[in-house]
A and B are shown apart, each in its own frame.
Chain A
Amino acid sequence: MFRRITEPDAETVIIRFEGERLKVAAHETVAAAVLATNPEFTRTTPISGEKRAPYCLMGTCFECLMEIDGEPNRQACMMIVTDGMVVKRQTGKREMPE
């Protein structure tokens, strides 16, 4: 979907997106890091299960909801990547914890 025109500089972090190991620029958002991998989609909706991807990237539309470090429904465009972060697509509604 997106490609980098600047090389991630010296500062990088390692995150995992759906199991894939990604070396990404520190200080960028989870949404940016994921969009650079051509993810096809980043969530499915709770209503129809339709596939969606980020739309506004400024915290308004909530299309970028993902599961980040085990926490569902996080806005990926508002969170900065950190080393060891585990990112997954949000699938429909969040599950209620047991």
Chain B
Amino acid sequence: MTKNFDVAVIGAGPAGLAAATEAASHGLSVVLFDEQPAPGGQIYRNIEGVDRRRLGKILDEDYLKGADITKAFRASSTNYHSGATVWRVDTDGSLAWTNGTAAQITNAKRVISATGALERPVPVPGWTLPGVMGAGAAQILLKTAGMVPDGPTVIAGNGPLLYLVANQLFSAGTEIAAILETTRFRDYFGAARYAFGALKANEYLSKGNRMMQELKRKGLRVQSGTTNVRADGNEKLETVRFTANQEEYEIEASTLLLHQGVVPNVQITRQMGATHEWYEPQRYWRPVTDEWGATSVETLAVAGDGAGIFGAEAAAAAGQLAGLDAAHRLGKIDELDRDVKAGPLLRERNRLAGVRPLLDHLFQPTDDILRPADETLVCRCEEVTAGDIRECVAEGATGPNQLKAYTRCGMGPCQGRMCGLTVAEVIADARDKPVEEIGYYRLRPPIKPITLGELAAMEDAVD
């Protein structure tokens, strides 16, 4: 098998697919690695295999749009590896990956990381109970397996996906016991000054408004200004408790879907040592990129939500831009050609980005999940609570990396994906410092667990 390519793309969501298709169209040799069994990423998950007759209407036209981008990708000359986990990327463009059996090394002149976003972890008391999961997780089961939660379901949090999933699950026959919005009336005032800019991408606003009206029309219980959501039960979820209008409520439920937006997946950009910046409105880290997605690492570009959350359509434009820039850098097109082709893409991406300041200020993560109560588990793998972290700070732990030595927090199999943001917030709060100053885990390869067997089976293993 060829081990040398012009471009290696990581991730087969809209950004990765568009990047690979664009780069390949200029005669570059392109390889794409993706962990999932089929292209589409999470947003267009299972787009090629979905039961359109039964699910097409429920999942809506925005999802079905994903078919075009996967089709173009399939028609490109990209060398596509599904079910492939990249576990190390070096700044010289060498990528270590595994297909689950044997580790392998592939070299590329340019790497385009398109690993997208993950749902922001929502640490509330009881969030480890079976029956509690991400709203995005339930949507994945709908897309890939045509399954919906069985029994009364509560959906809690904020953000566009919350309303989308609520509508989809209801249409698919789920018993929605309540939708608990953490959004308060005053958040709308706070975000109002961004409304004018958002009009540029009016389709998002009208879709959002339609989704929220639809929930009310369906007669579902929608509770605004909810705080202190907690999951209770004996070894599985039985009751969801929350506060609203200074009163305590409880609802019997077998499923609780939590959602407070999505955040960039920074594992690869961090492991490669790219410079990151803190994005205050949504309280997440993102790699610093230029209009082409180029990072502080010479060989690395980032396309799509991995560089900051702008949504699927902006991600596809960003992927194309990164592909164009790769074609230019590797001598296939000159600068003028690149810029002319990029013009409409940049304009479209900027237009779509117009809605973000409004959404990012309206749907901010809430204080109770940013800095959870002492009893709440923050690190699900190593079972470290917010109280444990505060104790360590009192004993002298200054940042996330020291905390590992005290508690193993962030050292379990998820490698900090579920606790990294919360840990930094809790430490920053306890030390009365800005999160930016506290920083993030130092991420080292392998960035996903691999077995010794996979390493030993490596073709070019050194004796």
Report which A residues bind B (CB closer than 8 A). 1-6, 9, 25, 27-29, 32-33, 35-36, 38, 40-42, 45, 47-48, 50-63, 65, 73, 78, 80
Contact = CB atoms under 8 A, between A and B. Distances in A.
A56 B147 contact: no
Given A32-B144, A61-B417, A78-B35, A1 B55 contact: no
Interface string B230-274: 000001100000000000000000110000000001000000000
A54 B137 contact: yes
15 contacts: A2-B147, A3-B147, A4-B146, A25-B145, A32-B145, A33-B145, A35-B141, A42-B130, A45-B381, A48-B383, A52-B128, A53-B133, A54-B133, A59-B36, A73-B413
A45 B128 CA distance: 11
B42 interface: yes
B384 to A, nearest CB: 9
Nearest to B100: A79
* List of 7 A-B pairs having minimum Cβ-Cβ separation, nearest first: A6-B146, A53-B130, A32-B145, A62-B413, A57-B137, A3-B150, A2-B147
Contact of A5 (B54, B133, B265, B412): B54
B446 interface: no
Contacts of B42: 58
A12 to B, nearest CB: 13
B418 A61 contact: yes
Given A48-B383, A55-B134, A57-B137, 18 more contacts: A1-B131, A1-B150, A2-B148, A2-B149, A3-B150, A4-B146, A5-B54, A28-B145, A32-B141, A33-B145, A35-B147, A51-B236, A55-B132, A57-B136, A57-B141, A58-B136, A60-B418, A63-B380
B236 A40 contact: yes
Name, among B144, B383, B418, the residue most crowded by chain A CB atoms within 10 Å (CB to CB): B144
Interface string B82-122: 01000000000000000000000000000000000011010
Contacts of A25: 145-146
Contacts of B236: 40-41, 51, 53
A98 B37 CA distance: 33
B400 to A, nearest CB: 18
A1 B254 contact: yes
Contacts of B83: 78
A32 B37 CA distance: 14
A32 B118 CA distance: 19
A53 B382 CA distance: 16
A1 B425 CA distance: 33
A17 to B, nearest CB: 15
Interface in B144-163: 144-150
Given A54-B137, A61-B417, A63-B380, A29 B131 contact: no
A4 to B, nearest CB: 5
A58 B118 contact: yes
A45 B35 CA distance: 24
B256 to A, nearest CB: 11
B21 to A, nearest CB: 23
B133 A2 contact: no
Contact of A51 (B130, B146, B150): B130
A40 B133 contact: no
Given A5-B173, A80-B37, A36 B130 contact: no
Given A2-B150, A5-B147, A57-B140, A47 B418 contact: no
A55 B133 contact: yes
B119 A56 contact: yes
B51 interface: yes
A63 B132 CA distance: 11
Contacts of B55: 6
Name, among B36, B83, B145, B417, the residue most crowded by chain A CB atoms within 10 Å (CB to CB): B145
Contacts of B54: 5-6
A51 B235 CA distance: 6
B343 interface: no
Nearest to B35: A59
Given A1-B254, A5-B148, A61-B418, A56 B130 contact: no
A60 B147 contact: no
Contacts of B382: 47
